[in-house]
Chains A and B, each alone.
Chain A
């Protein structure tokens, strides 16, 4: 079951395939992001070039799908017909301290009215939309259990 109802735009890789390894990783329960092979620096979102040394041969590597809530918002006003009855819902910005502090987005699963603590530990949930056309998976987050 997905956190938000169906009917939102489906994420697909660009025609040039830049972000394809990320979307393919999510389908097999893996968080795969970019890393500079020379400096070891992770970076996100997908880019053709390393921000630190301008090399154009970034690697895609799997990272532990855990992080800390860096910021958040709780949405009460829907701006898409598919979300008309879905509010409120929570969006979190998650920072990965073990991967150069890159940040990713996602929904925070659970009670949409829960109080949210910046700095709280979260772990990934891979939300599969196998019936969608085309099928896709989303990276979601829940409060860490350990």
Chain B
């Protein structure tokens, strides 16, 4: 392991979220949602919000650190960070940036946050309404190729073609999220189970994605508090230590609208990240007890799981069954809160929270002795990011 490592130096000590709403349904402004999630995370951690001295987010979150620090009465602002890149690719990256700031002494108590009120600010899944388009957008939008589902579908299509993967592999990923959401009262799809038949009969959005292969769009906010490991041990929650993280992409991964030109099209872009992640953690895929993997679209989850080394692409159809993907006893429990598909599309930050809850033993679909917990952000986007959390036992 490299001496320059995050392993065991920083821990998540507080998590919080607002009520999760269907898109456009939040009764409060986005900024208020953001504040409430941060306050909930502070309460969970047992810390005074004024102690927060750093802020990290991603995907051009609209709630900037100086405004938040001022509103919260923070004594001092020492770190204000934005992970570049749209989509949810930066979820684990924002966590990694916060951990790096703490590990290097730039800050002592950093909150990672994401807030979305799409009723207030508009949705992701709609095409541009401008009269003209230029640049990379001009190469795709005039063909009716103008939403994330459409831009990413050819990546999954090619991957499924190359490795002879059946639609049932994507279906199992969707079913696992909905299965876990039925145990999670926070989930927007709580009380709304999904069956194989309902998946099969659901309409295509854009092939190979059915309706249930696509994430929700939601309103709400989520936040996590991170502090140095030595301080974490004195706080009230079981610490979830950062074991490793990685951010980035491989060779020439183009912008999303020009993604068709990326040399390695059939990829979620974790091929270079996953080996670095495991090396920093000193672990292998077999050590991972539970996985949260961002479902923008199930095809991205499929490729991300392969690229994180859990099974070979050729074995995907065989491995990806509901039985293998559900807590407590599946081989690879996946998206145990319901994820983006069925808990909430809080741009994947709810997946970071769930990864922490698994280490704490507080999930609504708990995996027994979950000591190593993986959270993967934004497959197929660039840059992507990925992070491993662990309990005290694996340090």
Residues of A at the B interface (CB closer than 8 Å) are 4, 8-15, 18-19, 23, 44-45, 51, 70-80, 83, 86, 88-89, 91, 93, 101-107, 118, 136, 138
Report Cα–Cα, A88/B254, bound state, in Å.
Answer: 27
User: In the complex, are the beta carbons of B261 and A102 less than 8 A apart?
Assistant: yes
Contact A74 B141 (CB under 8 A): no
* A70 / chain B contacts, CB cutoff of 8 Å: 154, 158, 265
Q: Does A107 lie within 8 Å of B143, measured CB to CB?
A: yes
Q: How far is the CA of A4 from the CA of B140 in the complex (A)?
A: 13
Q: Is the CB of B127 within 8 A of A80?
A: yes
Q: Which of B127, B139, B261, B263 contacts A79 (CB 8 A)?
A: B127
Contact segment of B35-43, B61-69, B203-211: B203-211
* Cβ-defined contact, A14 with B203, below 8 A: no
Report Cα–Cα, A93/B156, bound state, in Å: 13
Total interface residues on B, using CB and 8 Å? 45
- Tell whether A77 pairs with B206 under 8 Å between CB atoms, given A51-B252, A71-B157: yes
Partner of B265, one of A19, A44, A93: A93
- B interface list, Cβ under 8 A from A: 125-147, 149-150, 153-155, 157-158, 161, 203-208, 252, 254, 258, 260-261, 263, 265-266
Give the complex CA separation of A61 and B153 in angstroms. Answer: 30
A103 to B145, CA, bound (A): 15
Partner of B258, one of A4, A45, A86: A45
B212 to A: closest C-beta gap in Å: 13
Check if A73 sits within 8 Å of B153, measured CB to CB.
Answer: yes
Instruction: Check if B153 sits within 8 Å of A138, measured CB to CB.
Output: no
Contact check, B161 vs A118: say whether CB atoms are below 8 A apart.
Answer: yes
Q: A51-B252, A77-B205, A77-B206 are in contact. Are A9 and B142 (CB under 8 A)?
A: yes
Instruction: Pull 19 A–B residue pairs with CB atoms less than 8 Å apart, ordered by A.
Output: A4-B142, A9-B131, A11-B132, A19-B138, A23-B138, A44-B261, A51-B252, A71-B155, A71-B157, A73-B150, A73-B154, A77-B203, A77-B204, A79-B127, A86-B144, A93-B260, A118-B157, A136-B142, A138-B143
